[in-house]
Amino acid sequence: MKDPVAKELISRHLESGEMTPGEEIAIRVDQTLTQDATGTLVMQELEAMNLDRAQTEVSVQYVDHNLLQADEKNAEDHAFLRSACRRYGLWFSKPGNGVSHPTHMKRFGKPGKTLIGSDSHTCAGGSLGMLAIGVGGLEVASGIAGEPLYLRMPEIWGIRLEGELPQWVSAKDVILEMLRRHGVKGGLNRIIEYHGPGLASLTAMDRHVIANMGAELGATASVFPADDAVREFLRAEGREDDFSELVAEDADYDVTDEIDLSALEPLIAKPSSPGNVVPVREVAGEPVSQVVIGSSANPGLRDFAIAAAIVKGRQTGDAVSFDVNPSSREIFADLTKMGATLDLISAGARIHQAGCMGCIGMGQAPAAGANSLRTFPRNFPGRSGTKEDSVWLCSPETAAAAALTGVITDPRDLPEKVGVEYPELDLPEESTVNTDMLVAPLEADEAQSEELVRGPNISALPDFEPLPDRIEAPVLLKVGDDISTDEISPAGARALPFRSNIPKLAEFTYTQVSEDYPERAKKIAESTGHVIVAGENYGQGSSREHAAITPRYLGLHAVIAKSFARIHWQNLANFGVLALEFTNADDYDRIDEDDTLVLDGLRDLLPGGPDAEVHNTTKDEKYPLRHRLSERQVEAVLAGGRIPLLARR
């Protein structure tokens, strides 16, 4: 049997370690991707590391999140990012050019390459036969500087696809079916590899939809083969010379599953988790006040064109706000050439600029408690910008059906309900190619004289003290399962403009869970500091390292949880926060908020092995703990984070 595509990709880039699941490996980084909500910290990290010039084949900074310029703050970030790209040798994608993942796929993606990005949905690049992994910003900064990516070797999870999707069912329903079966933790410590005869009917952009939301399963990456569908995609983009075949038939996988595409039906994720998936017919009739088409989770021309064809010649419901966020200027141009933009406008659509927009809570906030159907990847509580939101995730077909009827509607019922037959799309064979808004790196000698443009809202990275040998601190917060980084460090138009200002952003930390957490944490930050206790899958969702930095800035020393999401676990180590897991999950129930916990002898204990113990002095009880940190990560935690170590490189 052949190795899976994922193993072949790792083998080609392996710099150290054994490819045994659970063992730490290091892989060479070919490309990096940053976006503006996380990229400003990456550039500050490059500055702290005294980097001379990017060492990767390609590194690109996209401006696709913080596009709502209500004041000067986001514009300052954009100027800072442009200057950093000029200084360090990165490409710069100008504001409004497009969402990072589909734009990178169209302009820079190459089969056989590795790509890491400071956005959890970087895994979408796996649609082209790449090993594409979402990581924290410090991992990206290290990759730009020429360091390998360190990670635990994942299991390879083979998903065999059979059959062909029926009418009214599309790629979004495939990944929703995965989430229905396996939930938001199903892919933890796994790479998902799709294979089988069902691939033949899925375009490269269909695969992007599926690979993108592998992040919602908690997967390290999602991988598709580089086959004829990938060749055709690159040909349409004018880049067929970048194609190289990478396939694996009859490969041997660590874990297996199978999906019959022909048996799928329209699915929808109910509020407020991507894993809360049910058939659309089960919730049909629920009133809808907003429908939003766009995001990196449904970014292709086909996704917009099918929605336009469904609403063509009709007016959307009078109680429905129908919003369209083009994923790139190139796709918007093709949509317009087809006449589909006019169809959308005539149906009542509000066309917004090319970018993430409502997906990250930058505008398009729904009314409290009113149902909003979105073709987005996430619906965590409050992520939309509305605290009491009710966001559902679905395909463009299901979204367009709701826009027409004003209620959640199985799109298969549209012929009977409103006389809309399944549209046959005639998509262009050649894609619009517009590289004018991609600014190439300066030559090395010219870049040396560039100064960083730092507005008043851009702070320096905070210096953190080394981890104390003894922690004696209260449990300031106890939270449950599946706490997302959105809940730790919220998105939205109120907080996002402060992404480059850690002291100010810290004021928003955990306010969706406990409004007075920042104030309580500040009071004891310089004395005892504090501890957080959590349930399963702590830190799921976005890769934003702000969710580690701002609690650390407020005095967080340790998080004790039943389990951690991969990227956040790494981010905690990067910024000197000790991540420990309960050996016995039931001990979680024995700890209450305000209990005082003691962790002693850490400088000898952590390097010595995975076992530890915490003493709850309030109840006079002790609980065994473990950590999964490598020697390298232990060194970083004890030093107060990786930046001091990297600055000495």
pTM of structure: 0.95
Asked if the model's pLDDT at residue 103 lies above 90, the reply is: yes
pLDDT digits (tens, 9 = 90+) for 22-57: 999 999 999 999 999 899 999 999 998 899 999 999
- Those residues with Cβ within 8 angstroms of residue 355's Cβ, 6 or more apart along the chain or in another chain: 64, 65, 67, 95, 96, 98, 99, 325, 362
Q: Residue 266, Cα to own-chain centre: how many angstroms?
A: 24
| Other beta carbons less than 10 A from residue 307's beta carbon | 31
Q: Tell me, what's the pLDDT at 463?
A: 86
Q: Tell me, what's the pLDDT at 306?
A: 98
pLDDT digits (tens, 9 = 90+) for 562-606: 999 999 999 999 999 999 999 999 999 999 999 999 999 999 989
Q: Tell me, what's the pLDDT at 583?
A: 97
Provide the percentage of residues in the chain whose pLDDT is more than 70.
99
Q: Taking residues 249-258, report their average pLDDT.
A: 95
Average pLDDT, the chain: 95
Q: Residue 343, Cα to own-chain centre: how many angstroms?
A: 31
Phi, psi of 634 (to 5 degrees): -60, -45
pLDDT digits (tens, 9 = 90+) for 502-511: 999 999 999 9
Phi-psi region of 192 (alpha: psi -120 to 50; beta: other; left: phi over 0): beta
Q: Are 25 and 55 in contact (CB under 8 A)?
A: no
Q: Tell me, what's the pLDDT at 646?
A: 65
Kind of pairing between the strands at 290-294 and 371-374: parallel
Q: Which two tokens stand for residue 92?
A: 């710069």
pLDDT digits (tens, 9 = 90+) for 135-172: 999 999 999 999 999 999 999 999 999 999 999 999 99
Quote the CA–CA distance of 171 and 299 in Å, as a whole number: 12
